[in-house]
């Protein structure tokens, strides 16, 4: 959890291929960040520090977050 920001993980393992979207979506936030790599984390922290409510969405399974940031510069 980043400060008061809420982090929600929408992982493939939790949803069947036919139902990737939840039936009901009732979350609201001032800022929605898609992806929990380096840029997404920085954006979420900056928005939260400025007083915004933040919703951070990540498709990777728990423990595998990080996107391209995890592999950048390793090649």
- Does residue 47 lie within any of the structural domains? yes
Distance CA 67, CA 58 (A): 9
Q: Is residue 73 part of a domain?
A: no
pLDDT tens track, the chain, 75 positions: 444 555 554 444 554 555 566 788 788 999 999 998 889 999 999 999 999 999 998 888 777 777 777 777 665
Which residues are bridge partners to 58 per DSSP? 9
The residues pairing with 8 across neighbouring beta strands, listed in sequence order, are: 57
- Which secondary structure element, helix H or strand E, spans residue 43, and what is its range? helix 38-49
Residues 6+ apart with CB under 8 A from 43: 31, 33
Q: Say how many domains are in the chain.
A: 1
Query: Which structural domain, as residue segments, surrounds residue 56?
Result: 1-14+28-64
**Residue 31 to residue 18: CA distance in whole angstroms:** 28
């Amino acid at each position: 959890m980043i400060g008061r920001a809420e982090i929600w993980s929408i992982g493939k393992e939790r949803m069947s291929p036919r139902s990737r979207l939840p039936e009901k979506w009732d979350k609201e936030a001032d800022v929605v960040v898609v992806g929990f790599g380096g840029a997404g984390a920085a954006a979420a922290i900056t928005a939260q520090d400025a007083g915004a409510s933040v919703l951070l969405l990540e498709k990777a399974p728990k423990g595998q977050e990080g996107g391209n940031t995890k592999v950048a510069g390793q090649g």
